[in-house]
Every structure is written in C-alpha cells, then in structure tokens.
Structure 1
Amino acid sequence: MKFTLFFISALAFLCLSSSEFLSWENIQDYVTTEPPPKKQPYQSPDCKCVGEPGGKGELGSKGERGPKGELGANGMPGANGMPGANGKTGLKGEPGRDGRHGQNGRLGSRHVVKGARGEKGETGSPGVTPIPQQLNWKQCAQSIGSDKKAGTLLHCFFKKYEDKTSLRVEFGGTIRTMLNTLKKKQSVVCARWYFTFNGEECQPPIDGVVFEGQIGNSHYPHQIGGFCQKTASNKHLKTGTVHIEFRIGHCHHRRPEGIPYLGLDSVSRIIIIEMPPPQE
C-alpha cells in the first residue's frame, strides 16, 4: 500500500515537470495488471492533476422505449390446473330417431297375476242383428178358386221372435179380372190385391193391381211381395203372433172391379220370413 502511494506521488511530480504526459494506458503497463476502476477520475482542463472521484449523480430521465425484441423460445409446459366446478345444465336436446327393433324376448311363464277389476265402460252403440243361422219362416198354401170382389182370400198366423226385425211376405198364384159383358158401359176394369198385418196395411203398402180393357178371360201367374216393419198407423210389428192376410178390393181411383178370380186350377201361397232390420 505504501509503495502504491509513493508511486502515485512520483508520477504526479513527473506530470508537472514534463510538457508531455503519459496516458493511463502507458502507466497501466508499469503499475499493475489489475483492471482499471469503474469510474475515471475527474481531470481539470487547466490542471492535469488526478482528483478524487465525484459523488453519484442524480438518476437520469427515462429513455425512449426500445424496439420489440425477438420472440423467445417456448417455455416448459406448465402443470395441470385444478379441475373446475361443474357447469350449468344445458338445454334439452331434440328427440332422437327410433332405434331398430330388438330381438324377441323369451316366452314368459304361464302364471298370470289377475289384476284389479277395471271401471265400467260406456254403453256402446246398438249392434246390427246378424242373420240367424236358421231363418224363421213359414208358408201357408191352399188350392182354392175364388171370385170374391172384396175381402180376405188367404191368411196365415206367424210367430215373430224379435221387435226390431222386419217381415218379408210374398204371394204366388194366378189371378185375373175381366169385363162384365152384362154391363155395356164398362170399358176398363181394375182389381187390387194387397197384404194386411193384424188388420192394417203396411207402410208403405204391399200390393198389386190388374187393369183390363178388352173382352177376355186370361189367367196369369203373379207374385206380389215386399218388406214390412210397421203398419199404416205407425205401429211396429212387435214380438209375438202376427195375423197376415192377402185381400182383394177396389183400386184407389174407384174404377169398376169387373169379374176377378184367384187360383184357377193351381195352388195359391203366402211365404213369410223374419228378416234383420233395414239399414239406417
């Protein structure tokens, strides 16, 4: 340390006595190999003496922002974070399409537990009466010859089984009407044959008429028939015995009846069949 101070004093003396001075770099080669101090000593322009280092100056103002540096290398992957809380329930999605049919299951056991008795259902609409396997029918036949101008020619009693059914009736036989040659004023005659049920005609009537406008005596086979469900007084043919008659009488326009005849050399018959009710 003493040697250093001595060397510095001698160096100052040489600086004052010489017109030229050595630079710090030249002195450095002779003094020491240690690096120079961080701060250069202040040297006055008039005096080339080395003074003591000054105090630390004030902090300068902030400089301008430098240019953006290059992108650094990727860092190491961070550790997994803690699991977050469950989110809110989402909206209901649309129904999916129907899946394929599955395989048939195994046949279950025959033991079935009887469930509780269900409530009584509503009354259904009336059903249609089916045609019975064995028809309820009857035929009344008679070999007669009648020249009545009015009244009953044939009759039959029939047992009806149901209220809602209808009766189909049919007459089969030969009939005739002819001019009365004893009455010269007759030019056209008419006779009417019809059915009655318990003394009343059906609604609508079941009948047939024959007109004759020339002299003759021809007998022809005829069939007169139809269905009856109620009479002219709007009475339904109810269950029980029905008295059916085949009659003759005047035509509605009151023409003369002439000379009628039924059943010449043949059998006359009434056929009766109980049938299901008609369509609505």
Structure 2
Amino acid sequence: MADTRILSQTMKSYIACVLLILCFIMYVNAECVGQKGTRGPTGAKGVTGDEALDWYRAPRKNWRQCTWTSSDGRDSGTIASCQIYKESSSTALYAAYSGNTRLHNCHGCCGRWYLTFNNAECSNPQVIDGTVYMANYNSADLYRHRVVQGHCYGLSAGWITVSLVVGACSGYGTYDLNTGWNSASRLIVVEETAPMY
C-alpha cells in the first residue's frame, strides 16, 4: 500500500514537472519573436470602389408598392395603377399584382387580369397576365388569391405607369368579374438589372 502511495506521489510530481517545463518553453517561444521593426514604405493608392457594394451598406434598390383594400366589380378596364421613375433604359421592370379575383355566374367563361406599362402590354419578352376559367359552377361565388407577375424589358427611362387591367380572354365574351375582396391588394414594381441570359 505504501509503495502505491509513493508511486502515485512520484507520478504527480513528474506530471507537475512536465507541465512547468511546457509552460517555460511556451513562454520562451512567445518572447522569441523579436523587436518590432520600422514601418515599411507607403503603398500605391487603391482604386475607389462602388459605394453600393460596401459591405456595411445595403444596395439601393428602386422599387414601389401600391396597395388598396376596396373591391372592384368592373368587368373590363383599369383596376389600379402604380407609378415608378425608371432610372435607366438598360434595366428591366419586375411587376406583380397580388390579390383576390373572382369569376361569377357563368359556365365555360374566362376572365383575364393583366399588367400594362404606360397603357401598353409588355412585348419583351411576353405579356404579363393570368386567366381564370370556370365551367359547371354557374352559381359559384369563389374568391381566390392570385399572383400575376413577370419582368418586362426594353422600356425607356422615365416615368412608367404600371396598371392592373381586367378584361375578356381571347375568344370569350365579357363576364361578371371582381377584383379584390376582404384583404389587401397590391401592385409591386421593382427596377432590376437586365438579365444575364
């Protein structure tokens, strides 16, 4: 038993010695860096960066959101408009309508919701629209939330009026349409860089 205690105390002394030696080595190595040298020559001035790309600043984005809460029962024509000043002719506009739509009291009928830019539909790359078709539900009164969205290219710089317009689908007549009900509707317009592809 006494031999075990002696061995245990010897082990503790040995470990303490090793730790002291390691600490001393680390201290000596830390001091072996040397004295601080003289300042080096001044380098050439760097190129000024784009302020919008600074890590501490959020990029500036040109956008606009127009909202309303009223319901509009017209079957054709402009429902709402939102103006934005497009800063460059080389950018695209992203536009979106988000809100409720309804097609009512008809069979084999179709309604169309679409976006115009200064009273003309987008042609580059394509129109921005959505249609609702209904059959076999003559008395249905279903309001559904829908999103009509897309990008339009080739628009000149300057004031652009983006409008949500409702009307007949190609090859169909005019039916009982409704836009917006019991929730907010919105038009969102964002000027974005031209596509890379």
**CA RMSD for the aligned pairs?**
1.9
Q: Secondary structure at the match of 1:146?
A: coil
Q: In the superposition, relative to structure 1, how do residues 222 and 111 fare at CA in structure 2: closer, same or farther (>3 Å)?
A: closer
Q: In 1, Cα distance between the equivalents of 2:42 and 2:161?
A: 59
TM-score normalised by the chain length of structure 2: 0.67
Shift of 1:111: 9.1
The match for 2:163 among 240, 245, 258 is 245
Q: Secondary structure at the match of 1:145?
A: coil
Higher Cα radius of gyration: 1
Higher strand proportion, which one?
2
Find the counterpart in structure 1 of residue 49 from structure 2: none
- The answer to whether 1:166 aligns with 2:92 is yes
Taking the TM superposition and a 5 Å limit, the aligned residue runs for 1:52-71 are none
Aligned residues: 141
Find the counterpart in structure 1 of residue 146 from structure 2: 222
Which digits, 9 at most, give the CA deviation of each residue in 1:241-261, with x for residues without a partner?
1011100011012x2332111
Q: In the superposition, relative to structure 1, how do residues 110 and 198 fare at CA in structure 2: closer, same or farther (>3 Å)?
A: same
Taking the TM superposition and a 5 Å limit, the aligned residue runs for 1:143-222 are 143-180=69-106, 187-203=107-123, 204-213=126-135, 214-215=137-138, 216-222=140-146
Shift of 1:191: 0.4
Q: Secondary structure at the match of 1:169?
A: strand
Which digits, 9 at most, give the CA deviation of each residue in 1:185-230, with x for residues without a partner?
xx3111000000011100110000001111200101001100001x
Q: In 2, Cα distance between the equivalents of 1:211 and 1:147?
A: 17
Q: In 1, Cα distance between the equivalents of 2:162 and 2:122?
A: 11
Matched to 1:279, the amino acid is: M
Matched to 2:175, the amino acid is: G
Taking the TM superposition and a 5 Å limit, the aligned residue runs for 1:1-280 are 110=41, 133-180=59-106, 187-203=107-123, 204-213=126-135, 214-215=137-138, 216-229=140-153, 236-253=154-171, 255-280=172-197
Higher helix proportion, which one?
2
Matched to 2:149, the amino acid is: G
Q: In 2, Cα distance between the equivalents of 1:188 and 1:258?
A: 10
Q: Secondary structure at the match of 2:115?
A: strand
Shift of 1:147: 1.1
Q: Secondary structure at the match of 1:252?
A: coil
